[in-house]
Amino acid sequence: MSGTAIGTRAFGHYIDGKWGRAESGPTFETRNPATGEPVATYARGTAADVDRAVAAAKAAFAKWRLVPAPKRGEILFRAAQLLAERKEEFAREMTEEMGKVLLEARGDVQEGIDMAFYMGGEGRRLFGQQVPAELPNKWAMAVRKPLGVCGMITPWNFPLAIPTWKIMPALVAGNTIVFKPASLTPLLAVRLTQIFEEAGLPAGVLNLVTGTGAEVGDAILAHPDIALISFTGSTETGDHVAGEAARTRKRVSLELGGKNAIIVMDDADLDLALDGIVWSAFGTSGQRCTAASRVIVHRAVERALTDRLAERVGKLRLGNGLTDGVEIGPVISRAQLERINSYMAIGREEGAELVLGGRIADDGDLARGHFHEPTIFGGAKATMRVAQEEIFGPVTTLIPVDSFAEAIEVANGVQYGLSAAIYTADVNRAFRAMQDIDTGILYVNAGTIGAEIQLPFGGTKATGNGHREAGQAALDVVTEWQSIYVDYSGRLQRAQIDD
Ligand code: NAD
């Protein structure tokens, strides 16, 4: 973070429908992880900025909650349309600031468009429950009510998609928002906010405060007028979030880390499995919460799979995600690059075989950015750190097993429970996997990434605290149930007592 010269792309906070000026206080800058070039400058927020944003959101809530939900949905539809029109421009900006290859950046924007359309439709649903009452001439139903001001804190790896998972359901349900994006990638958060402004969202309903976790994030966690914290990030930060938010009894939804496994059984279609592993382990340079950082392989096919995987991955082209033909972009930062690289020694010292890669990639132009060679560890034991810890880089670890039962045990033998996959031709094994694997997301004959927005997204164990984003489940996070009884009998009727 530094207060360097302000370039053309400088953004202040967006509070109560007005853009502040970045120049009016401390700032920070982002840099392209592929080239090291500056991307944009942002205001560095403080607790005072959070106070202003919460006050604006609280005042706006009084009106927004009463806007008919179909009308709120129409604003989401307009936002979806505008996002679709700018898809290419936004994808390029995302690649510049975050580094993922353009094809994937387009997918990230598309996910935001899908979520905006899907949740826009909720404006005409938001289904409640209407049930029979046990007494005559009495009506019983439950309706969803908004919570109030929601604090949304997001990570850098899906700069548009993850904010939309949080913001779209919250808005359609009638909540107002204070939004803090990751300080490494605020550009798409700015763009999304501009889109809502253009789509006609009333002032104060969505407020953007940029800055660090310690300054802006902690102020959001502590603020007594915020009802919900929706957080996506690391398990370590998530634990801090949960602890701090408990002091003011906030609802907290956590989407945290993963150590996702692909199981490849002896009867699997190996070509199909290879496609799934390459895409799931090395897409987004392994920086997806659902990345396949473990491959649990039946010993009968271990050698063949290891050799063929090394051959495929060895051909992947590293580089700037805006360059045609590049398949793996940089990792997000120098610190993350060094952290990933530290696992090379950890894996070797524990006795895993380094099958491919293992180095920071710094040939030619790559030296300007943060690139790591795609890396495969083979012959690992399930207890090794490279098989247990989230590395969040282009690294996967192959763990041989002797049976289906052992594969399931190894798949479940980590602290996380986000995504898992099994490749098998045996329908009985597929159903056993569905029954016995303890994750929030499971794929049969497909890799661990590629969730669609109309199903619940999230995980078990240390991946979260029981909530889900996306699908109908997202509405449970951002609404409160109100059960309503209307007695039209004209007399006192006592539930559980009168016949
Ligand atoms: P991170 O935990 O470092 O940061 C996430 C967000 O929290 C950022 O906006 C950051 O500024 C903020 N933050 C940091 N300290 C804070 C504090 N003290 N108080 C409040 N906010 C604070 O995570 P990251 O490095 O940005 O993202 C990578 C992690 O996110 C990985 O562990 C990945 O698995 C996880 N992730 C999970 C999902 C999911 O849905 N399960 C999706 C994407 C990423």
* Rounded average pLDDT over 474-479: 98
HSE-CB at 70 with a 13 A cutoff on CA atoms is: 2
Q: What is the pLDDT of residues 290-341, one digit of tens each?
A: 999 999 999 999 999 999 999 999 999 999 999 999 999 999 999 999 999 9
Count the neighbouring beta carbons within 10 Å of the beta carbon of residue 416: 26
Beta carbons within 8 Å of 132's beta carbon, 6+ residues apart: 140
Residues 73, 475: Cα–Cα separation, whole Å: 14
Q: Which is the catalytic residue, given 255, 302, 373, 469?
A: 255
Delimit the domains of the chain by residue range: 10-256+464-483, 260-444
255 is catalytic: yes
Instruction: Find residue 149's DSSP bridge partners.
Output: 176
* DSSP class of 249: T
Architecture in CATH for domain 10-256+464-483: 3-Layer(aba) Sandwich (3.40)
pLDDT of residue 2: 39
pLDDT of residue 7: 54
pLDDT of residue 24: 87
Ligand 1 mean position to 182 CA, how many Å?
A: 7
| Model confidence at 1: pLDDT above 50 | no
289 is catalytic: yes
**Ligand 1, atom 14: closest residue by C-alpha:** 213
| Model confidence at 114: pLDDT above 60 | yes
The crossing angle, in degrees rounded to 10, of helices 161-172 and 187-199 is 30
State both tokens at 30.
């982002």
pLDDT of residue 263: 98
pLDDT of residue 409: 98
* DSSP class of 440: S
Pairing of strands 479-487, 14-15: unpaired
In order, the DSSP letters of 45-112 are: --HHHHHHHHHHHHHHHHHHTTS-HHHHHHHHHHHHHHHHHTHHHHHHHHHHHH---HHHHHHHHHHH
Q: What is the pLDDT of residues 35-46, one digit of tens each?
A: 999 999 999 999
Q: What is the pLDDT of residues 166-214, one digit of tens each?
A: 999 999 999 999 999 999 999 999 999 999 999 999 999 999 999 999 9
Same fold, 10-256+464-483 and 260-444: no
Architecture in CATH for domain 260-444: 3-Layer(aba) Sandwich (3.40)
Residue 29 burial by CB count (10 A; 0-12/13-18/19+): exposed, middle or buried? buried
Beta carbons within 8 Å of 435's beta carbon, 6+ residues apart: none
Helix, strand, coil % over all residues of the chain, rounded to 5 = 40, 20, 40
How confident is the prediction for the chain on average, in pLDDT? 97
Q: Is 157 helix (H, G, I), strand (E, B) or coil?
A: coil
The preferred substitution site among 153, 235, 236 for testing ligand 1, maximizing ligand atoms within 8 Å of CB, is 153
